[in-house]
């Protein structure tokens, strides 16, 4: 079955950042990240499904469970798209990282590739720039379905939605107990940062090829520190969570477009992305607006050990591309697809937008 899985917290959630934490060290705060990575969400869903179809929660999966839910990083036949935050029934999307705001906090603009190459620390490149002074890059924000349509059409959003409108952080103290004696010792107190969603906010992800037992799950463990989530499955189609592709026109025989990452993407090397885009659309990547890498790992419950952190391009990254007008039909095939590694988890989801120069005023 296919459907949208929607999560709401029973109380609060904790999603570890992957940073090492040891009681007794000077830093006793365990930072939480939100939204959680695809690995965390998909892992929770697969574990809950495995229990529904007979797993005891401890042993290795048998061949029948692997056939239904995949094995390790091989999720086949499962496929995921998202995640998406939701406000009411409206899906939210990461605000593109080429958005800047004037320092008075009002007007929003786009960064655009420079018209000519600029000498920088990596040679001569067309780098993202803007002629206005006193602007600040907008980070860690979201836009609604109406504004993602505007952005993909080359227009700035009406506004952005900050995390303070979707969730708040709380801090709770805990104390470490010895597994054998159930007693505590010195330097055993720690603090966790918890995530409390605000009213009408939810977390969702779309799944394909799931077993029918998915609808039996009404609650599941999600995140660390005994986090719980209510779970609901909606029969929406995948197209409902993918923004519509805009109309893109050629100019002087060239199509100029953007690739916007909806979820983090992993490439062993950027040349892999460049080669893939070139093969599919004949396009060259002119420049990119991005941020520091997202460090994403996970937890291997069978081996009881962490999955090593890897550096992902963050969601919201914008790649500016240029190709010949003859590739227009090929370009449309990229919209809503995924690129890079771990795509069945939902990583590397991309949508196509218009690269339109902002008019000078």
- In-domain check, residue 229: yes
- In-domain check, residue 274: no
CA distances (Å), 305 to each of 106, 299, 302, 308, in order? 47, 6, 8, 9
Confidence of residue 123 (pLDDT cuts 50, 70, 90): confident
| Count of structural domains, the chain | 1
Confidence of residue 302 (pLDDT cuts 50, 70, 90): low
Residue ranges making up the domain that contains 227: 3-90+164-238
348 or 303, higher pLDDT: 348
- In-domain check, residue 63: yes
- In-domain check, residue 263: no
CA 325 to chain centre: 31
- In-domain check, residue 184: yes
Q: What is the 3-state secondary structure (H, E, C) of 232-270?
A: EEECCCHHHHCCCCCCCCCECCEEEEEEEECCCEECCCH
Are 306 and 18 within 8 A, CB to CB?
A: yes
- In-domain check, residue 66: yes
pLDDT of 26 reads 45
Distance between CA 352 and CA 361 in Å, rounded?
A: 27
Strands 189-197, 29-30: pairing kind: parallel
Residues 153-172 have pLDDT tens digits of: 999 999 999 999 999 999 88
- In-domain check, residue 78: yes
pLDDT of 58 reads 85
- In-domain check, residue 149: no
């Amino acid at each position: 079955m296919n459907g949208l899985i929607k999560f709401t917290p029973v109380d609060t959630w904790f999603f570890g950042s992957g940073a090492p934490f040891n009681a007794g060290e000077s830093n006793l705060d365990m930072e939480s990240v939100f939204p959680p990575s695809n690995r965390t969400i998909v892992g929770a869903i697969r574990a809950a499904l495995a229990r529904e179809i007979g797993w005891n929660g401890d042993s290795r999966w048998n061949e029948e469970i692997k056939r239904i839910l995949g094995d390790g990083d091989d999720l086949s036949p499962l496929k995921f798209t998202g995640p998406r935050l939701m406000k009411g029934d409206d899906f939210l999307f990461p605000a593109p990282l080429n958005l800047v705001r004037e320092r008075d906090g009002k007007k929003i603009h786009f960064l655009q590739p420079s018209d000519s190459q600029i000498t920088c620390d990596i040679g001569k490149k067309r780098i993202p720039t803007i002629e206005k002074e006193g602007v600040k890059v907008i980070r860690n924000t979201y836009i609604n379905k109406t504004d993602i349509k505007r952005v993909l059409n080359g227009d700035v959003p009406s506004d952005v939605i900050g995390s303070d409108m979707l969730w708040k952080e709380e801090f709770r103290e805990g104390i470490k107990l010895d597994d054998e004696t159930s007693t505590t010792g010195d330097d055993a107190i720690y603090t966790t940062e918890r995530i409390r969603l605000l009213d009408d906010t939810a977390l969702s992800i779309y799944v394909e090829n799931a077993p029918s037992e998915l609808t039996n799950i009404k609650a599941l463990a999600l995140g660390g520190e005994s986090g719980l989530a209510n779970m609901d499955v909606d029969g929406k189609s995948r197209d409902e969570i993918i923004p519509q592709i805009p109309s893109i026109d050629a100019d002087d025989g060239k199509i100029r477009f953007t690739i916007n990452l909806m979820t983090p993407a992993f490439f062993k090397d950027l040349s892999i992305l460049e080669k893939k885009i070139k093969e599919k659309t004949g396009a060259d990547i002119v420049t990119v607006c991005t941020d520091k890498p997202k460090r994403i790992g996970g937890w291997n419950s069978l081996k009881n050990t962490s999955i090593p952190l890897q550096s992902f391009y963050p969601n919201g990254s914008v790649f500016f591309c240029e190709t010949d007008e003859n590739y227009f039909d090929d370009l449309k095939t990229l919209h809503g697809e995924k690129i890079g590694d771990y795509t069945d988890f939902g990583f590397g989801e991309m949508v196509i937008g218009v690269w339109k120069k902002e008019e000078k005023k």
